[in-house]
Amino acid sequence: MAKLYIRNAKALVGTHPSSVRSVAGDRMADLPVLNDAWLLCEDGRITALGPMSSGPDIDPSAVQTIDAAGRYVLPGWCDPHTHTVFAASRDAEFVDRINGLSYQEIAARGGGILNSAAKLRVMDEGELFERSRQRVLGMIRQGTTALEIKSGYGLSEESELKMLRVIRRLKEDLPIRIKATLLAAHALPKEYASDRQAYLDLIIKRIIPRVVDEGLADHIDVFCETNYFTVHEMLRLLEAGSALGLAGKVHVNQFTSIGGIPAAVTAGALSVDHLEVMEEEDYTALSGGSTIPTLLPSCSFFLGIPYAPARRLIASGAPVALATDHNPGSAPSGNMNFVVSLACIKLRMLPEEAMNAATLNSAAAMALSDEVGSLTVGKRADLIITRPMPSLAYLPYAFGTVPIEQVIVHGQVIDLNDV
Ligand code: NIG
Ligand code: FE
């Protein structure tokens, strides 16, 4: 039996009981830790943990042992909103924005999502897989051990399927947990500019059934926003998805508040993501806690748009989650360490709140919190071992540095030079 024994940890962080699947409101500040502790993994799972004062009956020379003195052991980061499968960067648009154009102006000129779609459609599937695989390896190196990836740069039946097949290959090829989301309603493709009903019909009548039939997606997403898809269109798509077992995870309130949040909550969406622009009715809709608000501070940082009001969401009792939004247009970084720093610095989340949001709650935002997101006996042994640091708050405080010394996925130490 493959065993890994971690001993002398400064603390095990996020030792939630298995009954806790997410934390909301005031409870987000409760991040359980076990000081001066050990943890045992067997066959990819956490099988025991405890304080060094009552260590396990183990001969360290007989099993693979890591001495974590001075270091914290955390659950690997869970990143529940990414667009990591894409053909190419959009650094020319980055320079256009420095020169004064807005994200929306660039999109209106045919840049943005349609620019990415044009490049992805002509790229060979093998090449798309290789490029995406390299990006995911880079994210693992930065401590991400569970990940959601969306389609949405295909915008045709053939190319959306191509993206989802690439995500399936990533699931098969890499040791981390990956969830796939169908985002065919990311933008209206040029071919349908004068007939949006036909595109919605294509998604509802052909793409969703085929994707479900081939087992290619776990969730469905819609970009519900002025100039993209309306609330009514989002509801039609969520209904068609949920009828075939795809739970909703939707883009809402990035630039405007048009009623997407109350509608998505009523439709039973698993998460509502972005939330940079919020109205009173949006907070009210989320206070029940059934839908997870997922905040993407790297997008606000990169586009210079407002940061989501995390404090107000927490005060209203919501279970806030964090994600990178990794994509070539609005957040070209898959670094969750930076997201956790931004959450503390810009969203004014406490380090404990940000860490719960980037582990347990973000696992819940992709329906994975029974498997990952905390240091709990029975869960997957997906772990971060930090560099030596004086306190847990030092991790988000030292923004932009690499806080991680080792990453363990499914009980296996990842060779960080190799990925
Ligand atoms: O989450 N807002 C919509 N989708 C992405 C950006 C996509 C792009 O610009 O390529 C986002 O920010
Ligand atoms: Fe996004």
Structure confidence by residue, pLDDT tens digits, 22-36: 999 999 999 999 999
Homologous superfamily (CATH) for 3-76+371-414: Urease, subunit C, domain 1 (2.30.40.10)
Q: Report the distance separating Cα 177 and Cα 146, nearest Å.
A: 5
- Residue-level pLDDT at 419: 62
Q: Between 3.40.50.970, 3.30.1300.10, 3.50.50.60, 3.20.20.140, what CATH number should domain 78-364 receive?
A: 3.20.20.140
Q: Report the distance separating Cα 275 and Cα 101, nearest Å.
A: 22
CB of 295 shorter than 6 A to ligand 1 = no
* Strands annotated E in 264-343: 271-274, 292-295, 321-322
Q: Report the distance separating Cα 3 and Cα 129, nearest Å.
A: 32
How many of the other CB atoms lie within 10 Å of CB of 216?
A: 19
Q: Report the distance separating Cα 240 and Cα 286, nearest Å.
A: 23
- Residue-level pLDDT at 80: 99
Task: Give me the percent of the chain exceeding a pLDDT of 70.
Answer: 99
Please give the full DSSP string across 370-402, using - where no structure is assigned. TTSSS--TTSB--EEEEPP-S-TTHHHHSTTS-
How many of the other CB atoms lie within 10 Å of CB of 227?
A: 12
What is the distance in A from the centroid of ligand 1 to the CA of 330? 6
Q: Is residue 418's pLDDT more than 80?
A: no
pLDDT in tens, 359-408: 999 999 999 999 999 999 999 999 999 999 999 999 999 999 999 999 99
CB of 223 shorter than 6 A to ligand 1 = yes
- Residue-level pLDDT at 1: 59
What is the distance in A from the centroid of ligand 2 to the CA of 7? 39
Give how far the C-alpha of residue 95 lies from the chain's centroid of Cα atoms, to the nearest Å.
27
The mean per-residue pLDDT over the stretch 240-258 comes to: 98
pLDDT in tens, 315-347: 999 999 999 999 999 999 999 999 999 999 999
Judged by its nearest atom, the ligand closest to the C-alpha of residue 107 is 1
- Residue-level pLDDT at 55: 83
Helix 336-345, helix 351-358: angle, nearest 10: 140
Domain with CATH 3.20.20.140 in the chain: 78-364
- Residue-level pLDDT at 83: 98
Atom nearest to 107 CA in ligand 1: 9
What is the distance in A from the centroid of ligand 1 to the CA of 107? 10
- Residue-level pLDDT at 417: 72
Report residue 256: phi and psi, to 5°: -140, 155
Among 233, 252, 251, which Cα is nearest to 192's?
233
Q: Report the distance separating Cα 135 and Cα 156, nearest Å.
A: 24
- Residue-level pLDDT at 61: 86
Banded pLDDT at 60 (limits 50, 70, 90) = confident
Banded pLDDT at 110 (limits 50, 70, 90) = confident
Q: Is residue 203's pLDDT more than 90?
A: yes
Atom nearest to 153 CA in ligand 1: 10
Half-sphere exposure of 233 (CA within 13 A, CB side): 26
Give me the chain's average pLDDT, please. 97
CB of 76 shorter than 6 A to ligand 1 = no
Task: Give me the percent of the chain exceeding a pLDDT of 90.
Answer: 95
Residue nearest to atom 9 of ligand 1 (CA): 329
Pocket test for ligand 1, best of 94, 120, 223 (most atoms within 8 A of CB): 223
| Least confidently predicted of 1-5, 46-50, 347-351 | 1-5
- Residue-level pLDDT at 289: 81
DSSP state of 192: G
Half-sphere exposure of 173 (CA within 13 A, CB side): 14
CB of 330 shorter than 6 A to ligand 1 = yes
pLDDT in tens, 116-156: 999 999 999 999 999 999 999 999 999 999 999 999 999 99
The mean per-residue pLDDT over the stretch 172-190 comes to: 97
Judged by its nearest atom, the ligand closest to the C-alpha of residue 327 is 1
CB of 160 shorter than 6 A to ligand 1 = no
Half-sphere exposure of 174 (CA within 13 A, CB side): 29
Residue nearest to atom 12 of ligand 1 (CA): 330
Banded pLDDT at 2 (limits 50, 70, 90) = confident
What is the distance in A from the centroid of ligand 2 to the CA of 334? 12
The mean per-residue pLDDT over the stretch 168-185 comes to: 98
Domain with CATH 2.30.40.10 in the chain: 3-76+371-414
Give how far the C-alpha of residue 233 lies from the chain's centroid of Cα atoms, to the nearest Å.
24
- Residue-level pLDDT at 57: 87
Please give the full DSSP string across 19-87, using - where no structure is assigned. T-----GGGGG---EEEEEEEEEETTEEEEEEEGGG--S--TTTSEEEE-TT-EEEEPEEE-------S
